[in-house]
Structure 1
């Protein structure tokens, strides 16, 4: 993709009164954004079905080119990737959706087209129950499917707890923003967002200097839904953005799952209704999710690998073997819990864990959690 084509694509996405469907139609009929710009004054010669409204709107494209040139310079300065619709790095699942953006801005290192991608959404007013589901589900999924990419919206509540759970379990996570990459909203999540750029990324269809307006959050939801294999609703009130995302996912013929909640709890009503109306499959744990999706869990391979680990590392002492045996029973354990399970003092346990890390058998996660590699 040439820089000029990127600039014209940026400009086309900003032409007033030209929606995403019209943008795609123009690209299909003329073959490129550059061709749209070159023939903007006589568009009907190439696209006879163009309306008076569309023809008039394209006259403003030249004004948007100047803004696009500024944005391209901003992306260069801040190491932001411009992913155009037909680029190989563009999310292929999203490309299947009729209203996919022509261009996305991406800052991160995660492959957006890996084999397994999910999104986790829910209320901004999540309870301890919802937070616990995020931690537990992502930890389980990280063990069963370590290459999974977790997508959410970086918002308060379930979104940010899903991102943080992914980071804590060494899983890549991408936040889809409702504004440009020159800001982070809410500001309170800035540190998490910065961490995500080196273990996942930040993605948006909006140029810099775009405010986080309410309508942008609704538009953002279609990207969250479209770039994933499945939508997982953790907690939701009777109405809310999570239910909008679930509806969009269903319209894309993607799988939708929901964790049930206690009858009468305000932030479980949306999930329970999705399940009741057969719009979402009831979900209780990561193993069920893997089975429902037909994904091959790593567990069987893990057990095989772990079964021969003693042969691969025959020099394990009795205490090290005890640690490995405990970690085989759980996806990950905090060091204090591991100390109780192995009956080893923490200071001795730390030394053994360090040796196991050096041997490549154990990995240290955030929060003092350990798991087998």
Structure 2
């Protein structure tokens, strides 16, 4: 994209009454960002949903000055501006009607033809959540995915640190411009992040990490990924907003289950209960639901390492039976293991939560 076109796109971003959806509508009608400013006002007013209020300020020189100033900042800091129709714009985000017309990238980011997963959760991560993030990243590493998060305290940074330690590409979506880092305590990770991926934002250098920006940022985390995983969340929180956005984009959502008495598992448990997320206990669950395949040379990688390994006598009996006999009906498992139906059902649920079996249509179950 040429410098004049980038400046024109920045100018559209600067105008208060023109959001991303309206900007795309104008660009689609006119052919390019520059063409929007060359077209006559009465032509633009014929576009459905476009009125005088929307176009107020379209030719205000102040917004052109702001756009040119921001372009100079991007050039000086070697920040790449990706237009929503360019090849280097995140593929999945292109399909989101409210995706930004420009995103700004810094680091060593390569999103083309890659498996991309977003991992989100509470800032108040527990030891369980930390262990879950580290185990998930270790298990998924043989597929070499890109792990996206928000670079915040808690689940975000735990996931991104685990990704960097394993040489995986990780991308942080920020709620402010690329002239700053928030939280400041995470500045120590910037160099390694840029080496192993980098930073993405839609916000200009004048933007601060305000609350509304974090909510707006969440749609990029959800939109640029094939799937979103929520590791820990209270009953309310930004990670649940991200999960809702991912569902709205028809993406797969996964949640790590936890004890019903744990404050920071309630949000995840509720997502699973309301069928807004798949239950996930190991990376194998995500791989199965997304239909991902390992490369032949990596088939022996330990993808199915479990987070939970302690089995009681009944669980061991049922699990061993499924390992030996493959897919089986609930009634058959109960009969062969000499257990009542209610006991078999609860045992199968426990094994599923431990990541050792998975349910199949028709009341079938199989060992993973």
Normalised by the length of structure 1, the TM-score is 0.78
Q: CA RMSD in A?
A: 1.9
Task: Note if 1:284 corresponds to 2:302.
Answer: no
- Residue segments in structure 1 that go unaligned for 5+ positions in a row: 305-327, 333-373
Match of 1:117 in 2: 116
Q: CA deviation at 1:200?
A: 0.6
Match of 1:344 in 2: none
**Count of residues paired in the alignment:** 305
Q: CA deviation at 1:72?
A: 1.3
SS of equivalent residue, structure 2 residue 264: helix
CA contact (8 A) 2:17 2:56 kept: no
Q: Distance in 2 between matches of 1:225 and 1:90?
A: 15
Distance 1:267 1:192, change over 3 A: same
Q: Deviations over 1:296-324 (max 9, x none)?
A: 024x53257xxxxxxxxxxxxxxxxxxxx
SS of equivalent residue, structure 2 residue 275: coil
CA contact (8 A) 1:166 1:172 kept: yes
Match of 1:269 in 2: 266
Q: CA deviation at 1:43?
A: 4.7
Task: Note if 1:69 corresponds to 2:65.
Answer: no
Q: Distance in 2 between matches of 1:179 and 1:261?
A: 32
User: Quick one: which of 176, 183, 200 aligns to 1:203?
Assistant: 200
Match of 1:173 in 2: 170
CA contact (8 A) 2:121 2:232 kept: yes
- Residue segments in structure 2 that go unaligned for 5+ positions in a row: 306-368
Match of 2:104 in 1: 105
Q: Distance in 1 between matches of 2:166 and 2:235?
A: 31
Match of 1:192 in 2: 189
Q: List 4+ stretches of structure 1 deviating above 4 A.
A: 40-43, 328-332
Q: CA deviation at 1:184?
A: 0.2
Q: CA deviation at 1:177?
A: 0.3
SS of equivalent residue, structure 2 residue 57: helix
Counterparts of residues 356-371 of structure 1 (less than 5 Å): none
Q: Deviations over 1:61-118 (max 9, x none)?
A: x311111111111111111101011111000110000101000000021212333100
SS of equivalent residue, structure 1 residue 201: strand
Match of 1:223 in 2: 220
Counterparts of residues 230-269 of structure 1 (less than 5 Å): 230-269=227-266
Q: Deviations over 1:302-356 (max 9, x none)?
A: 257xxxxxxxxxxxxxxxxxxxxxxx77999xxxxxxxxxxxxxxxxxxxxxxxx
Match of 2:126 in 1: 127
- Greater Cα offset, 267-276 or 191-200: 191-200
Q: Distance in 2 between matches of 1:73 and 1:48?
A: 34
Q: CA deviation at 1:194?
A: 2.5
- Greater Cα offset, 25-34 or 187-196: 187-196
CA contact (8 A) 1:40 1:59 kept: no
Distance 1:30 1:289, change over 3 A: same
- Greater Cα offset, 29-38 or 260-269: 29-38
Match of 1:301 in 2: 297
Task: Note if 1:51 corresponds to 2:47.
Answer: no
SS of equivalent residue, structure 1 residue 118: strand
Distance 1:40 1:166, change over 3 A: farther
Match of 1:11 in 2: 11
Q: CA deviation at 1:291?
A: 1.3
Q: Distance in 1 between matches of 2:287 and 2:192?
A: 27
Normalised by the length of structure 2, the TM-score is 0.79
Q: Distance in 1 between matches of 2:87 and 2:12?
A: 20
Q: Distance in 1 between matches of 2:176 and 2:48?
A: 35
Q: Distance in 1 between matches of 2:139 and 2:38?
A: 53
Q: CA deviation at 1:39?
A: 2.7
